């Protein structure tokens, strides 16, 4: 039986947040529509951050509302705080994700709050979710950032991350994801972390999120899969990076990840030709940006067939 893996395309959020050029709203829409048409099942479409801090997301509400008109995708938005969650809720997105740093130094740099304060913010967001009108469903994800180390703080003890997993679950989040924000993780560390986190959070443990800063992105995805993870974040063309984590660079590359998974017999639902077509839209809309990816360059192996 073919096992399905959910790839959450975070390019429109994690990718664009670190891109200096403003991607025109229409191009964003065409790109997101093309990503959905390529078969990606989940797309993180924007961030409801203060647009004064990241002007790229000045059109967040319009983008989120547009994405909600597309069939067959789970629409996700990042929210840095309760205010962002309120704005996101108005657009009707299926899921919001609140970043909560395992590193105090990154927490202060990224959301200007201590870790404790950000956990309290999560509780307020959970209350917002619970107060939504009957029939209006919006999942809340707690996304643990800098879980494998931090360029500001250095080492981040596994125990700190696991305690945060426990607190996020207790606060009432629907799902928990764990992120290597700055590309420090190695496969051994990843396997151990996800095995332990699953012991604590059970099925609430959701996506693994890796950056390819040191080239280990796909190896870390493999390790997460081996630990039972079935949802992986990645970004088209490997765009990405946290503007408030010095030295953070591109995410795992969606095209390469899809190839690896399909070659191994996992089902991602993604059609390669359509995925490459979506990449062309991105390339045309962001001239001069740095695009990564081996598969877009090398093409599929001769006679390659995608999994059923």
Which residues are identified as catalytic?
Answer: 242
Alpha-carbon 258 to chain mean position: 15
How far apart CA 152 and CA 252 sit, in angstroms, is 22
- The count of chain residues that interact with a second copy, using the rule CB under 8 A, is 40
C-beta of 44 vs 256, nearer to a second copy: 256
* Minimum CB–partner distance for residue 41 and a second copy (Å): 21
Contact criterion met (CB below 8 Å) for 157 and 103:
no
* Minimum CB–partner distance for residue 190 and a second copy (Å): 10
C-beta of 48 vs 210, nearer to a second copy: 210
- Between the CA atoms of 100, 102, 104 and 107, what dihedral angle is there, to the nearest 10 degrees? -30
How far apart CA 212 and CA 177 sit, in angstroms, is 17
Binding-site string for a second copy from residue 105 to residue 144, where x marks contact by CB under 8 A and - marks none: ----------------------------------------
* Minimum CB–partner distance for residue 178 and a second copy (Å): 17
C-beta of 47 vs 251, nearer to a second copy: 251
Q: Which of 265, 280, 284, 290 binds a second copy (CB under 8 A)?
A: 265
* Minimum CB–partner distance for residue 84 and a second copy (Å): 29
Q: How many helices (H) and strands (E) does the chain have?
A: 12, 8
Give the phi and the psi of residue 62 in degrees, each rounded to 5. Answer: -65, -40
Residue 294 binding a second copy, by CB under 8 A: yes
* Minimum CB–partner distance for residue 211 and a second copy (Å): 10
C-beta of 116 vs 226, nearer to a second copy: 226
SS3 string, 293-306, reads CCHHHHCCCCCCCC
C-beta of 127 vs 304, nearer to a second copy: 304
Residue 12 binding a second copy, by CB under 8 A: no
Non-local CB neighbours of 189 within 8 Å, separated by 6+ positions? 148, 158
* Angle, CA of 56, 57 and 61, to the nearest 5°: 150
3-state helix, strand, coil in the chain (%, to 5): 45, 20, 40
Residue 263 binding a second copy, by CB under 8 A: yes
- DSSP 8-state code for residue 174: S
Site for a second copy in 183-242 (CB under 8 A): 183-184, 186-189, 212-216, 218-219, 221-223
Give contact residues for a second copy (rule: CB under 8 A): 149-151, 153-155, 182-184, 186-189, 212-216, 218-219, 221-223, 247, 249, 253, 256, 259-260, 263-265, 293-295, 298-299, 301-303
């Amino acid at each position: 039986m073919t096992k399905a893996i959910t790839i959450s395309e975070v390019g429109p959020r994690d990718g664009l947040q670190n891109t200096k050029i403003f991607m025109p709203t229409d191009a964003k829409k065409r790109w997101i529509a093309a990503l959905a048409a390529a078969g990606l099942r989940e797309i993180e479409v924007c961030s409801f951050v203060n647009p004064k801090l990241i002007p790229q997301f000045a059109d967040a509400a319009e983008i989120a509302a547009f994405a909600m008109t597309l069939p067959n995708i789970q629409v996700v938005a990042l929210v840095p705080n309760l205010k962002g969650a309120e704005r996101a809720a108005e657009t009707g997105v299926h899921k919001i994700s609140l970043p909560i740093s395992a590193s105090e130094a990154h927490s202060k740099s990224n959301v200007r709050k201590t870790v404790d304060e950000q956990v309290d913010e999560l509780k307020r967001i959970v209350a917002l979710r619970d107060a939504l009108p009957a029939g209006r469903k919006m999942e809340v994800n707690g996304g643990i950032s800098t879980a494998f180390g931090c360029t500001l703080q250095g080492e981040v003890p596994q125990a700190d991350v696991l305690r945060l997993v426990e607190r996020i679950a207790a606060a009432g989040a629907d799902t928990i994801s764990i992120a290597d924000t700055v590309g420090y993780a190695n496969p051994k560390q990843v396997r151990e972390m996800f095995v332990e986190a699953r012991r604590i959070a059970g099925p609430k443990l959701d996506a693994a999120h890796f950056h390819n800063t040191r080239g280990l992105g796909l190896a870390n995805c493999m390790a997460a899969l081996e630990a039972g993870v079935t949802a992986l974040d990645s970004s088209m063309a490997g765009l990405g990076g946290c503007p408030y984590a010095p030295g953070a660079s591109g995410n795992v590359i969606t095209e390469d990840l899809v190839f690896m998974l399909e070659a191994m017999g996992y089902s991602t639902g993604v059609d390669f030709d359509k995925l490459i077509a979506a990449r062309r839209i991105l390339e045309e809309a962001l001239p001069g940006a740095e695009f990564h990816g081996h598969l877009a360059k090398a093409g599929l192996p001769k006679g390659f067939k995608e999994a059923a």
